[in-house]
């Protein structure tokens, strides 16, 4: 059984130093680690170095993701929960935020977040702001739509 997954878009290459930094960060939070598999609060996760589908990053770049970010993502790190309960979604978000903050990356959920406000597809609009989404402390900002399929947003705890 598998659960949610999210990616961290990195501006640096996944070289040996970066991989070591990711593994060290995971070890600090995990209760157990075996290769790319690890457990957080007895919940199973896996980390994947590099894009699962390389064309996804290419598509985001073609659609203009670099302009609003002010940088060009070069690599992808994916974290996936192997179960699909509410706790797995919460832990995935916390892990991705921790890794993105440490590595200077951007979290990509690969689609819209259910139940969140959306920007209109046919016209510019003001950014959306939501506080304490689903009980998590922090703010979710949906900044702008750069194409029908790509929305740029940020979260802040």
| Model pLDDT for residues 27-52, shown as the tens digit of each residue | 999 999 999 999 999 999 999 998 77
Give the whole-angstrom CA distance, residue 137 versus residue 115.
17
> How much is the mean pLDDT over the chain?
76
Q: What is the average per-residue pLDDT within 119-142? A: 54
Secondary structure E strands in the chain: 5-10, 32-34, 37-40, 43-49, 75-81, 106-108, 128-131, 139-147, 150-156
- Residue 62 pLDDT exceeds 70: yes
pLDDT band at 56 (very low <50, low <70, confident <90, very high): confident
Give the whole-angstrom CA distance, residue 96 versus residue 40.
13
CATH 3.90.25 fits 1-110, yes or no: no
- Residue 68 pLDDT exceeds 70: no
Which residue matches tokens 């935020």? 97
The pairing of beta strand 150-156 with beta strand 32-34: unpaired
Domain ranges, ordered by start, for the chain = 1-110, 114-157
pLDDT of residue 157: 46
Rounded to the nearest 10 degrees, how much is the dihedral formed by the CA atoms of 96, 101, 103, 107?
40
- Residue 156 pLDDT exceeds 70: no
pLDDT of residue 118: 56
Give the whole-angstrom CA distance, residue 89 versus residue 12.
26
In three-state secondary structure terms, 57 is helix
pLDDT of residue 103: 86
Give the whole-angstrom CA distance, residue 141 versus residue 130.
7
Of residues 107 and 118, more confidently modeled: 107
Give the whole-angstrom CA distance, residue 96 versus residue 94.
6
Quote the pTM value. 0.72
Q: What kind and span of H or E run contains 90? A: helix 86-103
- pLDDT, one tens digit per residue, over 92-107 is 988 988 888 888 888 8
Q: To the nearest whole percent, how much of the chain has pLDDT over 90?
A: 30
């Amino acid at each position: 059984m598998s659960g949610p997954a999210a990616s961290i878009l990195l501006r640096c290459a996944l070289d040996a130093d970066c991989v070591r930094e990711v593994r060290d960060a995971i070890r600090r939070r995990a209760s157990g680690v075996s290769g790319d598999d690890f457990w957080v609060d007895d919940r199973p996760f896996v980390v994947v170095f590099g894009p699962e589908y390389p064309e996804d990053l290419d598509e985001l770049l073609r659609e203009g993701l670099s302009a609003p970010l002010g940088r060009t993502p070069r690599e992808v790190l994916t974290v996936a929960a192997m179960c699909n309960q509410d706790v797995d979604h919460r832990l995935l978000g916390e892990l991705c935020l921790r890794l993105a903050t440490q590595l200077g990356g951007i979290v990509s959920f690969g689609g819209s977040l259910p139940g969140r406000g959306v920007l209109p597809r046919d016209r510019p609009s003001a950014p959306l702001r939501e506080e304490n989404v689903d009980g998590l402390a922090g703010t979710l900002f949906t900044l702008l739509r750069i194409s029908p399929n790509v929305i740029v947003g940020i979260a802040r705890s």
